[in-house]
Amino acid sequence: MRWLSRPLGTRAMGSLLWPWLCAASVAVSLLMLATLLTLLATRGLGHFWPASLEEVTLHSGETVIGQPVREAPLPNAAGMERLYFTGNRDIDGTRWRWVAIDDIAEKSVPDEIVRLERTPWGDFIGRLSSVERAGERLEGDAAWAFVTTALALPDSQRPEAQLHLTTANGQRVIQPLSGVTLFQTPNAMSWVQKTAAWSQRIWQFLSEGPRAANTGGGVWPAIFGTVLMVILMSVIVTPFGVLAAIYLNEIAHQNRLTRLVRIGVRNLAGVPSIVYGVFGLGVFVYGIGGSIDSWFFEEALPSPTFGTGGLLWASLTLALLTLPVVIVATEEGLARIPDAQREGAVALGATRLEMLTRVVLPMATPAMLTGVILAVARAAGEVAPLMLVGVAKLAPQMPVDGEFPYLHLERKFMHLGYHLFDTAFHGEDVQAAIPLVFATALLLVLIVLVLNLTAIFLRHYLRRQRGNEC
Amino acid sequence: MTPPRLPLSRQPLRLIHDRIATGLITAGGIGVLLAILAIGVFLVWETLPLLAFGDALSLNTLSPLAWGTLKAALAAMLFATPIALGAAMYSALFMSPRLRSRVKPILELMEAIPGVVVGFIAGLLLAPWVERHLASTLLVIVWLPLSAALAGSLWYLASARLRQCLPLSWAGIWLMPWLAMMATLALWLAPLMEQAWFGGDLRRMLDQQYGLDYATRNALIVGIAMGFAVIPSIYSLAEDALADVPANLMEGAQALGASRWQALWKVALPTAGPGVFSAVMIGAGRAVGETMIVLMASGNTALFSASPFEGLRSLSASIAIELPEASPGGITYHLLIFAALALFIFTFLVNTLAEVVRQRLRQRYQRLGGNR
Describe the crossing of helices A256-268 and B331-367 by its angle, rounded to 10 degrees.
120
The reply to whether B260 falls in a domain is yes
3-state SS of B335-354? HHHHHHHHHHHHHHHHHHHH
Model pLDDT, residue B226: 92
The reply to whether A264 falls in a domain is yes
Nearest to A288 by CA among A246, A262, A316: A316
A305 and A442 assigned to the same domain: yes
Lowest-pLDDT range of A146-160, A380-394, A396-410: A396-410
The reply to whether B155 falls in a domain is no
Counting the structural domains of chain B, the total is: 1
Please check whether residue B296 touches A, CB under 8 A: yes
Which residue of A lies nearest to B95 if distances are taken between CA atoms? A23
Residues A237, A347 contacting (CB under 8 angstroms): no
A239 and A361 assigned to the same domain: yes
Q: Which of A351, A441, A453 sits opposite B120 (nearest CB)?
A: A441
Please check whether residue A266 touches B, CB under 8 A: yes
The reply to whether B200 falls in a domain is no
A176 and A74 assigned to the same domain: no
The CATH code of the domain that includes A250 is 1.10.3720.10
A402 and A255 assigned to the same domain: yes
Mode of pairing for the β-strands spanning A80-85 and A63-73: antiparallel
Nearest CA distance, A238 vs chain B (angstrom):
12
A76 and A138 assigned to the same domain: no
Radius of gyration of chain A (CA): 30
Q: What is the pLDDT of residues A108-148, one digit of tens each?
A: 888 888 888 777 777 888 888 888 877 777 777 777 778 77
CA distance A299 to A303: 9
CB atoms closer than 10 angstroms to residue B245: 24
Using the 3D structure, point to which of A199, A233, A248 is the last residue of a domain. A199
Residues A183, A191 contacting (CB under 8 angstroms): no
Please check whether residue A78 touches B, CB under 8 A: no
CA distance B65 to A83: 39
Q: What is the pLDDT of residues A139-190, one digit of tens each?
A: 777 777 787 777 777 777 777 778 888 887 778 888 887 777 778 788 878 8
Residues B332, B326 contacting (CB under 8 angstroms): yes
Q: Which of A3, A15, A449 sits opposite B156 (nearest CB)?
A: A3
CB within 8 Å of A453: residues ≥ 6 apart: B109
Nearest to A28 by CA among B228, B229, B277: B228
CA distance B243 to B67: 36
Predicted complex ipTM: 0.87
Q: For residue A414, what are the CA distances in angstroms to A143, A229, A273, A303, A411?
A: 41, 10, 19, 21, 10
A191 and A246 assigned to the same domain: no
Q: What is the pLDDT of residues B8-50, one digit of tens each?
A: 556 678 788 888 888 888 888 888 888 878 888 888 888 887 7
CA distance B372 to B354: 20
Using 50, 70 and 90 to split pLDDT, how confident is the model at A5?
very low
Which residue of A lies nearest to B282 if distances are taken between CA atoms? A270
Model pLDDT, residue A2: 44
| 3-class SS of residue A65 | strand
Residue of B8, B24, B39 to mutate when probing chain A, most A C-beta within 10 A: B39
3-state SS of A193-214? HHHHHHHHHHHHHHHCCEECCC
Lowest-pLDDT range of A4-8, A64-68, B246-250: A4-8
Residues of chain B in contact with residue A257, where contact means CB-CB under 8 angstroms, are none
What range does the domain containing A439 cover? 220-465
Cα dihedral: A220, A221, A226, A229 (round 10) = 140
CB within 8 Å of A375: residues ≥ 6 apart: A233, A234, A237, A241, A322, A325, A326
Nearest CA distance, B171 vs chain A (angstrom):
6
CB atoms closer than 10 angstroms to residue B161: 8
Residues of chain A in contact with residue B21, where contact means CB-CB under 8 angstroms, are 352-353, 356
CA distance B290 to A381: 13
Amino acid identity, position A246 = I
Q: What is the pLDDT of residues B96-108, one digit of tens each?
A: 888 888 888 888 8
The reply to whether A292 falls in a domain is yes
Q: Give the phi and the psi of residue B215 in degrees, each rounded to 5.
A: -100, 145
Please check whether residue B25 touches A, CB under 8 A: yes
Please check whether residue B175 touches A, CB under 8 A: yes
CB pair distance less than 8 Å for A26 and B95? yes
Q: What is the pLDDT of residues B313-337, one digit of tens each?
A: 888 888 888 888 887 777 888 888 8
- Looking from the CA of A132 toward its CB, the CA atoms found within 13 Å total 9
A258 and A272 assigned to the same domain: yes
Residues A400, A302 contacting (CB under 8 angstroms): no
Model pLDDT, residue B307: 77
pLDDT at A215 over 70: no
The reply to whether B27 falls in a domain is no
Residues 204-233 of B with CB under 8 A from A: 228, 231
Average pLDDT over residues A212-233: 80
Counting the structural domains of chain A, the total is: 3
3-state SS of A110-163? CCCEEEEEECCCEEEEEEEEEEEECCEEEEHHHHHHHHHHHHHCCHHHCCCCEE
Nearest to A265 by CA among A247, A288, A277: A247
Max Cα separation, chain A?
A: 96
Residues B76, B222 contacting (CB under 8 angstroms): yes
Using the 3D structure, point to which of A92, A108, A124 is the last residue of a domain. A108
The reply to whether B219 falls in a domain is yes
CB atoms closer than 10 angstroms to residue B190: 20
Which residue of B lies nearest to A440 if distances are taken between CA atoms? B117
Nearest CA distance, B290 vs chain A (angstrom):
6
Please check whether residue B13 touches A, CB under 8 A: no
Length of chain B: 372
Residues 331-390 of A with CB under 8 A from B: 348-349, 351-354, 356, 377-378, 380-384, 387-388
CB within 8 Å of A450: residues ≥ 6 apart: none
| 3-class SS of residue A62 | coil
The reply to whether B154 falls in a domain is no
CA distance A265 to B43: 17
Nearest to A66 by CA among A95, A105, A32: A95
CA distance A219 to A204: 9
The reply to whether A41 falls in a domain is no
pLDDT at A419 over 60: yes
Model pLDDT, residue A470: 43
Average pLDDT across chain A, whole number: 81
For chain A, give the percent of residues with pLDDT over 90. 6
The CATH code of the domain that includes B290 is 1.10.3720.10
The reply to whether A119 falls in a domain is yes
A262 and A175 assigned to the same domain: no
Using the 3D structure, point to which of A164, A199, A234 is the last residue of a domain. A199
A173 and A244 assigned to the same domain: no
pLDDT at B275 over 90: no
The residue that leads in pLDDT, B372 or A373, is: A373
CA distance B113 to A371: 18
Q: Which of B42, B116, B179 sits opposite A383 (nearest CB)?
A: B116
The reply to whether A327 falls in a domain is yes
Using 50, 70 and 90 to split pLDDT, how confident is the model at B260?
confident
What range does the domain containing B331 cover? 54-131+215-367
Mode of pairing for the β-strands spanning A136-139 and A122-133: antiparallel
Average pLDDT over residues B3-7: 54
Nearest to B335 by CA among B302, B312, B360: B302
Average pLDDT across chain B, whole number: 83
Model pLDDT, residue B225: 92
The reply to whether A35 falls in a domain is no
Please check whether residue B191 touches A, CB under 8 A: no
CA distance A22 to A34: 19
CB pair distance less than 8 Å for A381 and B3? no
For chain A, give the percent of residues with pLDDT over 70. 91
pLDDT at B84 over 90: yes
Model pLDDT, residue B1: 41
The reply to whether B34 falls in a domain is no
The reply to whether B199 falls in a domain is no
The reply to whether A215 falls in a domain is no
A225 and A288 assigned to the same domain: yes
Q: What is the pLDDT of residues A31-58, one digit of tens each?
A: 999 999 999 999 888 888 888 888 888 8
